[in-house]
Amino acid sequence: MIQTHNFALGQRWLSNTESELGLGTIIAVNNRTVEILFPAIGETRTYAPASAPLTRITFEIGDKVTSHENWQLTVEKITDSAGMLTYHGKRIDNGQLIDLKETFVDHHFQLNQPQKRLLAGQVDEPKWFDIREKCIRHQFQHATSDVLGFVGARVDIIPHQLHIASEVGRRHAPRVLLADEVGLGKTIEAALIIHQQLLTGRAQRVLIVVPNSLVHQWLVEMLRRVNLAFSIFDEERCQAMAEEAGNPFEAEQLVLCSLDFLTHNSRYFQQVCEAPWDLMVVDEAHHLVWSEGQPSQEYEVIEQLAKVTKGVLLLTATPDQLGHESHFARLRILDPARFHSYPEFIHEEQQYSNLANAIEPLLNHEKVDVDEKAIEAIQAFAGEDLISDMDLASEQNRNKLIHQLLDRHGTGRVLFRNSRSGVSGFPARELLSYPLQMPEEYEEFLETELEPSRLLSPERIPEMVDIWTDIDPRVDWFIDHLQQLRGEKVLTICAKASTALMLSEALRRKSGIRAGVFHEGLSIVERDRIANYFAQSEEGAQVLICSEIGSEGRNFQFAHHLVLFDLPQVPDLLEQRIGRLDRIGQKHDVKIHAPFFVNSAQHVMLDWYHDGLNAFELTCPAGTSVYEEVEEMLLNSIQNPHDEIAKRKLIDDTQAIYAQLKSKLEQGRDKLLEINSSGKGKIHQLIENIDNSDNSPKLERFMTQLFDTIGVLQEEKDDNCYLLKQTESMHTQLPGLEEEGMTITYERQTATQLEHVHFFSWDHPMVQHAMDTVTTDVHGKSVIGMNRDKSLPPGYFWLECLFVLSTKAEKHLQINRYMPATPIKVTVDPKGQQVDKVFNMLDAVNPKMSSQLISALQSKIESGIEQASDIAAKLANQIKTQCIEAMQSNLQDELSRLHELSLVNKSIRQEELDFIRNQLEALGNALARAEVHLEAVRLVVNNH
Ligand SMILES: Nc1ncnc2c1ncn2[C@@H]1O[C@H](COP(=O)(O)OP(=O)(O)OP(=O)(O)O)[C@@H](O)[C@H]1O
């Protein structure tokens, strides 16, 4: 088997860098490129001929070759026609004489050269075997570790986020609504989920759709938090790509675009739907408004995309913001089979407190007390058959039952919502209100005005829009107030962009205070520039004046003063406003400043929020429902602000309704959500494992050894950091290593504080690349070392044989979830008996002595490897059986869930069930096909 770079059509080559591709066939060659098809996974690669990382595979007389039809031939003669070989020989199964063109050699072929290399005297130093073995073991351990996708995220470890990320990230094609309260970290949860899905091979192509204003923030968060470089797709980019053939959305795997862009460009929308996606993430999903017969365009766009996308994550802090029916419609996008009828959904919701009570005894309390009465309550939901055979003393069974109950009768595994009350460490919020006198100019117009938006924001009266800043006392109050807060950052929010613009203009005219304005009319680049201007500690703006929609989803927690220049009409918008500052990372109590006109509509609104709902100082989960119930009274009071009796009644009624709804929610929906969302009691093991991985010196020690072996210089710097640099002794290029060097740390805390430093973990792509450079290279495949053991005679020897069990399957089957490349090490003594022996510090052997030893031991080496192979094959069979069982139990669970649901719900499609059955079969075949091969061999000879 030789490596040359004279390519010809039909020849067979192996990839040196991606061993999982199997044997490829050359399908096109010209001066500049060579194209190769890898049938095992149905993909092609194109390389420059001179630098293609490929090894030519040819066979020699006497070799056994497997054909694509799975019969074998023993090669007797080889002919060459224009560079392509034909093997002539006898079929092993029936003795028939046959020709096999190399194009038809089985693409599952594995190159097994360690033995050949060893016997040919091509040996490396002992350390290469050690490093190769360590790389393979670490790759296997990480692929099967429950911290995969978590350890590499540059985030603080926050339990509720980890719980959601682990619950969702490990699912096949997850479809969920992430609805944590504002600022609890939904973006981070989504990042963790995407990261896990990509690293575990569950997803390859991800589309993120967000409001215009958040495109850049998402781009930065994905890169900074989880090393994922998304590409922004907008009109400009798509137009530039239009000249190239094909669908522009297929040119990248990780795409980020705005909802606005997809909604307003039917051609690009069509193309985005035609490109295959494994996962779609939609932020601020409350924009997807739906009502019977009148779905919004945004809703339709996402609904259509969700139909052709396997996994979907919808994110919103305020799921009910635009009505409960819209909320239901969004759940239907996620699981049309489960959420098929709104009346049924409402009926189910009414049962939530009974369901929560039924689940209560199953929860993981210290004392498990599932008595007869409790079983009766469960049966009312589950049906007798579901629990008749179940041993409820087992925690695993109880959890399974809880999942089934939530899935069939709650919002189940589709909705996650954490609230501040369940997450500790949030600062307090304080309302500071400032009564002002209403100017006469406003009063005159407002006497006959009925429109709530103008009553609440009189500056929007048409006659006032151009002059209001001259007469409105809120403007002077604002300027005075900013002067008093000198040195402090102040975020100011008003409902409309026009108000924000006029206010900032007045500020510019009347004071020298540095301010930025931020609203939906600005381009993304302008908005980001202004947000940065506000974020700068010195030289930056003291105040940022935002419109309602312009500031949605933004991170401004470096400020802790919020001015509400006016008040929004619905509680969810108020929560969105306060959530800009009251979010994870806020270090101070949040001061909410609210100027208002005495005895005006604003006064009613302020009192309603504060006295009725306490919505300034605490989050108000039932706010929208209360609003829906008292809307008429509230409107009436806004229109008649002097009617104190009506206002008193409004507030009393609001308090009563709120208290009632809150207690109902606490027993019903919220309780179920808490069971689902917080992960209390379940997540400590994962956190402990992440902590252990973070605190273990293993990675740092291993990487130091690995960098040293492959020739990368790791120089110690201050603050727990290192500088990595290329050296001349490097064996191969390390992808990602910048020419001028790069600063890294292995410490999470350092990484979260120093943003310019790369955070190295087992998840980091460069750590994986560095291991790949070793495992895809031939170094360390055949090694000789000298051991000094005086208790054994000189010349005594051992063969350390490192095998790998692996299989190939099409990418969408995600074979790595069930069987990543699995190392099996067998060490044998001169009699071919397996021994439990670990070698440290072996001496290298010079080439002359190596070849003498090999000649002397050749037949013993051959028989030793054969005996080790037999032992490895037995072990491999056991592992194979375990992998098949794990895969079957996993997919069978999913199949039974869908089957159960299909009994109560006819809209579950047969194809969905068939899909899982097919997957079961295809994975079963792939796992059964798994083969063990010799990856590396080290001959260790004793010498005194
Ligand atoms: N685990 C974490 N480690 C470090 N920072 C975090 C973590 N979780 C959240 N944050 C920070 O807290 C802020 C809020 O997080 P995020 O933007 O994900 O919240 P959200 O729920 O999406 O907010 P919104 O409801 O406003 O969209 C962000 O600045 C984020 O970077």
* Residue-wise pLDDT tens digits, 891-900: 888 788 778 7
Report pLDDT digits (tens) over 38-53. Answer: 988 888 999 988 878 6
At 108, the amino acid letter reads H
| Number of independent structural domains in the chain | 4
Distance 182 CA to ligand 1 centre (A): 9
Please name the residues in contact with 640: beta carbons below 8 A apart, sequence gap of 6 or more.
Answer: 646
Share of the chain above pLDDT 90, in %: 50
CA neighbor of 233 nearest in space, from 282, 278, 197, 268: 268
Q: What is the pLDDT of residue 583?
A: 86
**CB 500, CB 529: distance < 8 Å:** no
Which pLDDT belongs to residue 4? Answer: 44
Residue with tokens 């006016």: 566
List the domain range (segments joined by +) for residue 823.
113-145+779-944
Helix (H) or strand (E) holding 34: strand 34-38
- Location of structure tokens 């002794």: 729
- Is 182 annotated to bind a ligand? Reply is yes
According to the model, what pLDDT value does residue 449 have? 78
Is the complex ipTM higher than 0.90? yes
Residues 238 and 355 reside in one and the same domain = yes
Q: What is the DSSP letter of 180?
A: P
Q: Are 801 and 870 in contact (CB under 8 A)?
A: no
Among the residue ranges 39-48, 131-140, 585-594, the one predicted with the least confidence is 39-48
Q: How many CB atoms lie within 10 A of CB 697?
A: 9
Name the range with the highest mean pLDDT among 46-60, 86-100, 653-667.
86-100
Q: Is 429 found in the same domain as 414?
A: no
| Of 477, 485, 414, the residue nearest 171 (C-alpha) | 414
Give distance in angstroms: CA of 155 to centre of ligand 1: 10
Most confident of 312-316, 805-809, 887-891: 312-316
Residue 802 lies in a domain: yes
| pLDDT surpassing 50 at residue 719 | yes
Helix ranges restricted to H, 209-337: 215-226, 235-241, 259-263, 266-274, 297-308, 324-334
User: Considering the domain boundaries, does residue 384 fall inside one?
Assistant: no
State mean pLDDT over 413-419: 83
Measured CA to CA in angstroms, residue 97 lies from 72, 92, 114, 736 at distances of 11, 10, 31, 51
Secondary structure class of 735 (helix, strand, coil): coil
Tell me the residue ranges of DSSP E strands in 717-866.
721-726, 742-745, 758-759, 782-787, 797-806, 822-828
Whose tokens are 């063969």? That residue is 799
> Residue 553 C-alpha to ligand 1 middle, in angstroms?
9
Tell me: do 270 and 131 sit in the same domain.
no
Residue 516 beta carbon below 6 angstroms from any ligand 1 atom? no
Residue 615 in this model has a pLDDT that exceeds 70: yes
3-state secondary structure of 77: strand
Q: Which of 204-218, 657-671, 681-695, 926-940 has the lowest mean pLDDT?
A: 657-671
Domain boundary residue, one of 609, 626, 651: 651
Q: Is 180 annotated as a binding residue?
A: yes
Q: Is the pLDDT assigned to residue 367 strictly greater than 70?
A: no
pLDDT on residue 680: 62
Q: How far apart are the first and last CA of the chain?
A: 37
186 annotated ligand-binding residue = yes
Domain boundary among 612, 636, 651: 651
| Backbone Cα Rg of the chain | 33
Residue 335 domain-assigned?
A: yes
681 part of a folded domain:
no
CA 62 to each of CA 77, 78, 104: distance values in angstroms, whole numbers, following the listed order? 9, 11, 18
The pLDDT of residue 874: 96
* 278 in the same domain as 209: yes
96 and 118 co-located in one domain:
no
Q: Which of 363-377, 438-452, 613-627 has the least mean pLDDT?
A: 363-377
Q: At 209, is the secondary structure helix, strand, or coil?
A: strand
pLDDT at 577 over 50: yes
Ligand 1 atom closest to 316 (CA): 25
Percent helix, strand and coil across the chain, each to the nearest 5: 45, 20, 35
Tokens of 289: 């408004």
Q: What is the mean pLDDT of residues 726-737?
A: 80
Which secondary structure element, helix H or strand E, spans residue 480, and what is its range? helix 473-484
Give per-residue pLDDT as tens, 275-285: 999 999 999 99
Distance CA 865, CA 859 (A): 10
Q: How far, rounded to the nearest angstrom, does the alpha carbon of residue 823 sit from its chain's CA centroid?
A: 28
The string of pLDDT tens digits covering residues 660-670 is: 888 877 776 67
| 3 state SS of 471 | helix
Phi then psi for residue 665, to 5 deg, are -65, -40
For ligand 1, whether the C-beta of 186 sits within 6 Å is yes
CATH number where 95 lies: 2.30.30.930
Contacts of 37 by beta carbon, 8 Å cutoff, 6+ apart: 24, 25, 27, 43, 44
pLDDT at position 16 over 70: no
Domain contains 301: yes
- Amino acid 1: pLDDT: 38
The CA 574 to ligand 1 mean position distance, Å, reads 18
293 or 679, higher pLDDT = 293
* 19 within a domain of the structure (yes/no): yes
| Cβ–ligand 1 contact at 553 (below 6 Å) | yes
Cβ atoms of residues 864 and 796 within 8 Å:
no
Q: Could you tell me if 284 and 414 lie in one domain? A: yes
Residue 555 Cβ inside 6 Å of ligand 1? The answer reads yes
User: How far apart are the CA of 569 and the centre of ligand 1, in A?
Assistant: 26
DSSP SS3 for 908: coil
Same domain assignment for residues 335 and 431: no
Residue 436 three-state SS: strand
Give 589's DSSP letter. P
Say if strands 231-232 and 54-56 run parallel, antiparallel, or are unpaired.
Answer: unpaired
Tell me, yes or no, whether 517 and 597 share the same domain. yes
Long-range contacts of 645-654 (CB under 8 A, 24+ apart): 647/604, 647/607, 650/604, 650/608, 650/612, 651/607, 651/608, 651/611, 651/612, 654/608, 654/612, 654/613, 654/626, 654/630
Residues 501 and 582 in one domain: yes
Among candidate residues 359, 358, 352, 351, the one with its CA nearest the CA of residue 399? 359
Was 185 annotated as part of a binding site? yes
**895 and 883 part of one domain:** yes
Checking if the pLDDT of 14 tops 80, the result is: no
Query: What does the pLDDT read at residue 334?
Result: 92
**With a 6 A CB cut-off, is 317 part of the ligand 1 pocket?**
yes
Range from 326-330, 342-346, 731-735, 818-822 carrying the lowest mean pLDDT = 731-735
Question: Mean pLDDT score of the chain, rounded to an integer?
Answer: 87
Q: What is the pLDDT of residue 492?
A: 97
Q: Residue 621 — pLDDT band, cuts 50, 70, 90?
A: confident
**Residue 576 CA: which ligand 1 atom is closest?**
26
What's the mean pLDDT in 406-411? 72
**Percent of the chain scored above 70 by pLDDT?**
94
Q: Lowest mean pLDDT: which of 337-341, 453-457, 644-648, 677-681?
A: 677-681
- Residue 320: alpha-carbon gap to chain centroid: 25
> What's 250's DSSP letter?
G
pLDDT tier, 520 (very low <50, low <70, confident <90, very high otherwise):
confident
What confidence score (pLDDT) does residue 678 get?
64
Q: Look at ligand 1, atom 16, and give the residue with the nearest C-alpha.
A: 185
Query: Ligand 1, residues 187, 574, 580: which to mutate, most atoms within 8 A of Cβ?
Result: 187
Domain end residue (candidates: 376, 391, 421): 421
Q: Which residues of 294-308 are buried (b: 16+ CB within 10 A; e: fewer)?
A: ebbebbebbbbbbee
Q: What is the pTM of this model?
A: 0.78
Q: What is the pLDDT of residue 17?
A: 53
Spell out the alpha helix ranges (H) of 144-178. 159-169
CATH of the domain at 485: 3.40.50.300
Question: How many C-beta neighbours within 10 Å does residue 685 have?
Answer: 9
CA angle 579, 584, 585 (to 5 degrees): 115
- Residue range 56-67: mean pLDDT, rounded: 88
Pocket of ligand 1 contains residue 535 by CB under 6 Å: no
- On the question of pLDDT at 104 being above 90, the answer is yes
Q: What mean pLDDT comes out for the span 314-331?
A: 84
Higher pLDDT, 901 or 164: 164
Query: Are residue 796 and residue 925 in the same domain, yes or no?
Result: yes
What pLDDT is stored for residue 244 in this prediction? 76
Atom of ligand 1 nearest to the CA of 552: 26
Distance 188 CA to ligand 1 centre (A): 6
Report which ligand 1 atom has the smallest distance to the Cα of 584.
12
Does a structural domain hold residue 872? yes
The verdict on residue 137 lying in a domain is yes
Determine which residue's CA is closest to atom 30 belonging to ligand 1: 185
Question: Of 159, 676, 614, 165, which is closest to residue 425 (Cα–Cα)?
Answer: 159
Ligand 1 proximity of 185 Cβ (cutoff 6 Å): yes
Please give the pLDDT value at position 2.
35
- Probe target for ligand 1 pocket from 156, 166, 178, 188, with the most ligand atoms within 8 Å of CB: 188
Angstrom distance (rounded) from CA 527 to CA 556: 13
Residue 153 Cβ < 6 Å to ligand 1: no
* Mean pLDDT value of segment 146-168: 91
Tokens of 357: 């009570």
Could you tell me the CATH number of the domain that includes residue 416? 3.40.50.10810
Identify whether residues 105 and 173 lie together within a single domain. no
276 lines ligand 1 (CB under 6 A): no
Per the rule left: phi > 0, alpha: psi between -120 and 50, beta: everything else, 657 is: alpha
Taking residue 554's Cβ as centre, other Cβ atoms within 10 Å add up to: 20
Q: Which of 211, 167, 216, 214 is nearest to 189 (CA)?
A: 167
292 Cα: distance to centroid of ligand 1 (angstroms): 34
